[in-house]
């Protein structure tokens, strides 16, 4: 589906991105189904771009010079830069996305069946996940087959933003927002081990596809936060299987995958 420090280099780095044409103008692989990718994302239609050679049936590559050392991690909770956003958004997806061609911009469902329903007092948001959305095939899953996205994945991914051991740069997005979440964060970070099984009052699971989030106060920005890549949904199996390598071995529901070997000092190569 779509988009949304070490030392500085003296010169621009040519970053190699084998990507499908996305909203930020990057060209990628052809439209065939890729090995190892089992995501439900439709992606954007492929096409040419200035500086990239287009050959029918072949992988298309666009080299983009960037005056930076590029992304430092593809773990969403550790991301904070535009480069991490662009790279992570190729592999991961959020609950909501932008209607980029509408002015003013508005939100649309991405991993959801429909826009969340909001209670009259603005405190309770009701969500329905799209059925059939699957994580990409990866060795972290039994038999290497990606499984279906569930409510527990949403709560787990957001709880990771509260775990200081993850070195999150994104807690501010949900701070003082969800009922009981701040207390949960404080308690778990003081404990001997961070317990993801402990419930958060504002996280209410109704089924594997439906859940509610209760806010501590009516905060309109909350729904916009759900389109930011730091709130993207990740599978617990991948986080636990790869450990510190997870930031270089992303596993999500998006249209592209990236193997660890394809992230080199010269660039990153994503495949579909």
DSSP type of residue 230: G
Torsion angle in degrees (nearest 10) through CA of 197, 90, 242, 83: -100
What integer pLDDT is reported at residue 235 of this predicted model?
98
What integer pLDDT is reported at residue 46 of this predicted model?
35
Q: Does 111 score more than 60 pLDDT?
A: yes
* CA distance linking residue 71 with residue 90, whole number of Å: 13
Other Cβ atoms within 10 Å of 137 Cβ, number: 20
Q: What are residue 202's phi and psi, to 5 degrees? A: -80, -5
Is the separation of the CB atoms in 252 and 91 below 8 Å? yes
Question: Between 98 and 69, where is the model more confident?
Answer: 98
Is the separation of the CB atoms in 98 and 106 below 8 Å? yes
What integer pLDDT is reported at residue 156 of this predicted model?
98
Q: Which residues have C-beta within 8 Å of that of residue 60, sequence separation ≥ 6?
A: 18, 27, 28, 29, 30, 46, 48, 52, 53, 54
Give the mean model confidence (pLDDT) for residues 56-72: 56
C-alpha distance from residue 137 to each of 55, 67, 140, 163, 256 (Å) = 27, 34, 8, 26, 11
Nearest to 231 by CA among 76, 39, 74: 76
Q: Does 83 score more than 70 pLDDT?
A: yes
Q: CA neighbours within 13 Å on the CB side: how many for 171?
A: 17
Give the mean model confidence (pLDDT) for residues 57-65: 47
Question: Between 66 and 44, where is the model more confident?
Answer: 66
* CA distance linking residue 129 with residue 96, whole number of Å: 11
Nearest to 163 by CA among 253, 82, 77, 96: 77
Burial zone of 23 (CB within 10 Å; 0-12 exposed, 13-18 middle, 19+ buried)? middle
What integer pLDDT is reported at residue 141 of this predicted model?
98
Q: Does 3 score more than 70 pLDDT?
A: no
* CA distance linking residue 140 with residue 142, whole number of Å: 7
Q: What percent of the chain has pLDDT over 90?
A: 60
Confidence at 98, pLDDT banded by 50, 70, 90: very high
What integer pLDDT is reported at residue 80 of this predicted model?
87
Residues in the chain: 272
Mean of the per-residue pLDDT values of the chain: 81
What integer pLDDT is reported at residue 272 of this predicted model?
81
- Range with the poorest average pLDDT among 16-30, 72-86, 143-157: 16-30
pLDDT digits (tens, 9 = 90+) for 132-177: 999 999 999 999 999 999 999 999 999 999 999 999 999 999 999 9
Give the mean model confidence (pLDDT) for residues 237-251: 96
What integer pLDDT is reported at residue 60 of this predicted model?
45
Question: Between 208 and 12, where is the model more confident?
Answer: 208
Confidence at 58, pLDDT banded by 50, 70, 90: low
What integer pLDDT is reported at residue 264 of this predicted model?
80
Q: CA neighbours within 13 Å on the CB side: how many for 196?
A: 18
pLDDT digits (tens, 9 = 90+) for 227-237: 999 999 999 99
């Amino acid at each position: 589906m779509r988009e949304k420090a070490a030392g500085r280099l003296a010169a621009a780095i040519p970053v190699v991105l084998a990507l499908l044409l996305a909203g930020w103008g990057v060209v990628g692989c052809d439209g065939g189904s890729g090995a190892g990718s089992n995501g439900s994302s439709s992606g954007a239609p492929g096409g040419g771009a200035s500086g990239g050679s287009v050959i029918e049936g072949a992988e298309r590559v666009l080299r983009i010079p960037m005056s930076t050392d590029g992304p430092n991690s593809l773990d969403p909770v550790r991301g904070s830069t535009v480069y991490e956003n662009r790279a992570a958004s190729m592999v991961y997806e959020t609950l909501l996305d932008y209607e980029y061609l509408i002015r003013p911009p508005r939100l649309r469902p991405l991993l959801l069946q429909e826009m969340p329903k909001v209670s009259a007092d603005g405190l309770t948001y009701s969500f329905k996940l799209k059925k059939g959305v699957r994580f990409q095939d990866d060795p972290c899953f039994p038999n290497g087959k990606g499984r279906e996205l569930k409510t527990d994945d949403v709560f787990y991914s957001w709880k990771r933003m509260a775990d200081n051991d993850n070195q999150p740069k994104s807690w501010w997005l949900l701070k003082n927002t969800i009922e009981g979440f701040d207390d949960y964060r404080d308690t778990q970070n003081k404990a001997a081990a961070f317990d993801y099984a402990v419930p958060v009052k504002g996280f209410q699971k109704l089924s594997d596809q439906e859940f509610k989030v209760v806010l501590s106060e009516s905060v309109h920005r909350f729904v916009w936060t759900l389109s930011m890549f730091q709130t993207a949904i990740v599978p617990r199996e991948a986080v636990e299987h790869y450990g510190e390598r997870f930031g270089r071995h992303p596993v999500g529901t998006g249209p592209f995958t990236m193997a660890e070997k394809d992230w080199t000092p010269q660039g990153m190569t994503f495949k579909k």
